[in-house]
Structure 1
Amino acid sequence: MYQPLEQFSKYWIFKRNDPKVADEDLQGIRLLDESRASQVWRDYISDEQVHPDHFSDRDWLKKNSAQAPDGKFQWEKAWDRDDASLPDEMRAHFSVWGADTTVFFCCHNELVFEMNWGVFQRTWKAFLFLDNGPVLVGKKKKQAAQFHSNGWANLLFRES
Structure 2
Amino acid sequence: MNYLCLDEYAKAWVFKHQELLIAPQQLAQIKPMTPTRSAVLWSTFISRDKDHPDFFSEDDWLCQAQHWQAQEVFWEQAFEDETAIPEQILSHLDWQDNTTVYFCNSRVEVIETRFDVFKQHWQNFMFLADGSILIGKKRPQVVQFMETGFARLGEQPK
Q: State the TM-score, normalized to the length of structure 1.
A: 0.94
Give the C-alpha shift of residue 140 in structure 1: 1.0
Question: Which consecutive residues of structure 1, in runs of 5 or more, have no partner in the other structure?
Answer: none
Partner residue of 2:151? Answer: 153
Give the C-alpha shift of residue 82 in structure 1: 2.7
How high is the sequence identity, in percent, across the aligned residues? 32
SS where residue 3 of structure 1 aligns? coil
Partner residue of 1:18? Answer: 19
Q: Residue by residue, what CA displacement relative to the aligned partner does 1:79-115 show, whole Å, maximum 9, x if unpaired? A: 11132x21111111011x1111110000000000001
Partner residue of 1:90? Answer: 89
Whether contact under 8 Å (1:21, 1:126) holds in the other structure is no
SS where residue 68 of structure 1 aligns? coil
1:133 paired with 2:134, answer: no
Give the C-alpha shift of residue 27 in structure 1: 0.7
Partner residue of 2:31? Answer: 30
SS where residue 92 of structure 1 aligns? helix
Give the C-alpha shift of residue 20 in structure 1: 2.2
Higher strand share: 1
Whether contact under 8 Å (1:41, 1:109) holds in the other structure is yes
Q: CA RMSD in A?
A: 1.0
Give the C-alpha shift of residue 131 in structure 1: 1.4
Q: Which aligned runs of 4 or more in structure 1 are off by greater than 6 angstroms? A: none
Matches within 5 A, 1:93-132: 93-95=92-94, 97-132=95-130
Q: State the TM-score, normalized to the length of structure 2.
A: 0.95
Give the C-alpha shift of residue 19 in structure 1: 2.0
